[in-house]
Structure 1
Amino acid sequence: MADLDASTPRVFIARHGETEWTKNGRYTGSTELLLTPDGEKQVSGTASHLVGSKKLVDPERLVKVFVSPRKRAQQTFTLLFEKEGLKLDDASGKVVLEEDITEWDHGMYEGWLGGEIRSSRKERGVVGEKGEEEWSIWRDGCEGGESPQQVAERLDRLIAKIRELQRPCMNGEQAADVVVVAHGMSLRCFVKRWLGYPLDMPLALMLSPGAIGILSYLKHDIEQPAFFVGMSLPPL
Structure 2
Amino acid sequence: MSDANATTPRVFIARHGETEWTISGQCTGNTADIPLTARGEDQVRATAALLVGAGKLIDPARLARVFCSPRQRAVRTMELLLGEEDAAAARASASKGDRTEHASRVVLTEDIREWDYGAYEGLRPGEIAERRRSQGKGKWDIWVDGCEDGERPDQVEARLDRLIAEIKAIQAPVIHGGPAPDVLIVAHGHILRAFVKRWLRFPMNFAFAQMMEPGAIGILSYAHHNIEEPALLVGMGFPASS
TM class by smaller structure: over 0.9
Match for 2:89: what amino acid? Answer: D
Check the 8 A contact 2:53/2:60 in 1, yes or no: yes
Q: Which whole-Å CA distance do the structure 1 matches of 2:55 and 2:4 have between them?
A: 15
Select the residue among 176, 181, 184 that pairs with 2:186.
181
Give the AA of the match of 2:5.
D
Q: Is 2:241 aligned against 1:223?
A: no
Deviation at 1:2, TM superposition (A): 9.1
User: Residues 129-168 of structure 1: matches in 2 within 5 Å?
Assistant: 133-168=138-173
Structure 2 residue matching 1:181: 3-state secondary structure: strand
RMSD: 1.6
SS state at 1:168 partner: helix
How far has the Cα of 1:134 moved from its partner?
A: 1.3
Alpha-carbon deviation of 1:174? Answer: 2.8
Per-residue Cα deviation, 1:34-85 (whole angstroms, up to 9, x for no partner): 00111001000000000000000000000100000000000000000117x5
Aligned partner of 1:116 in structure 2 is 127
Q: Retained in 1: the 8 A contact 2:113–2:188? A: yes
Deviation at 1:118? Answer: 1.0
Q: Extract unaligned runs of 5+ from structure 2.
A: 91-101
Q: 1:216 to 1:45 in 2, by over 3 A?
A: same
Equivalenced residue count is 229
1:49 and 2:45 correspond: no
Q: Which runs of 5+ in 1 are unaligned?
A: 127-132
Q: Which residue of 1 aligns with 2:110?
A: 99
Partner of 1:17: 17
TM-score under structure 2 length normalisation: 0.91
* 2:197 corresponding residue in structure 1: 192
Letter in 2 for 1:104: W
Q: Give the 3-state SS of the residue equivalent to 2:157 in structure 1.
A: helix
Report the AA paired with residue 29 of structure 1. G
Contact 1:107 1:145 in 2 (8 A): yes
Kept after mapping to 2: 8 A contact 1:169/1:176: yes
Do 1:2 and 1:233's aligned partners in 2 also have CA atoms closer than 8 Å? no
How has the CA–CA distance of structure 1 residues 116 and 87 changed in structure 2, closer, same or farther, with 3 Å as cutoff? closer
What is residue 99 of structure 2 aligned with on the other side? none
- SS of the counterpart of 1:97? strand
* TM-score for both structures, normalised by structure 1: 0.93
**1:217–1:226: 8 Å Cα contact kept in structure 2?**
yes
Matching residue's letter, 2:6:
A
Q: Secondary structure at 2:156's aligned position in 1?
A: helix
**Alpha-carbon distance, 1:86 to partner:** 3.5
With over 3 angstroms needed to count, the CA separation of the structure-2 counterparts of 1:141 and 1:62, relative to structure 1, is: same
Distance in 2 between the 1:62 and 1:76 partners?
A: 16
C-alpha displacement of 1:140: 0.1
Aligned partner of 2:71 in structure 1 is 70
Report the equivalent of 1:5: 5
Q: Compared with structure 1, are the counterparts of its residues 211 and 2 closer, same or farther at alpha carbon in structure 2 (3 Å cutoff)?
A: farther
CA change 1:88–1:98 in 2 (3 A) is: farther
Contact 1:9 1:216 in 2 (8 A): yes
Distance 1:105 1:59 in 2: 31
Residue 51 of structure 1 contacts residue 58 of structure 1 at CA under 8 Å; is this kept in 2? yes
Identity percentage over the alignment?
Answer: 55
Question: Which amino acid is 2:155 matched to?
Answer: Q
Amino acid at match of 2:62: R
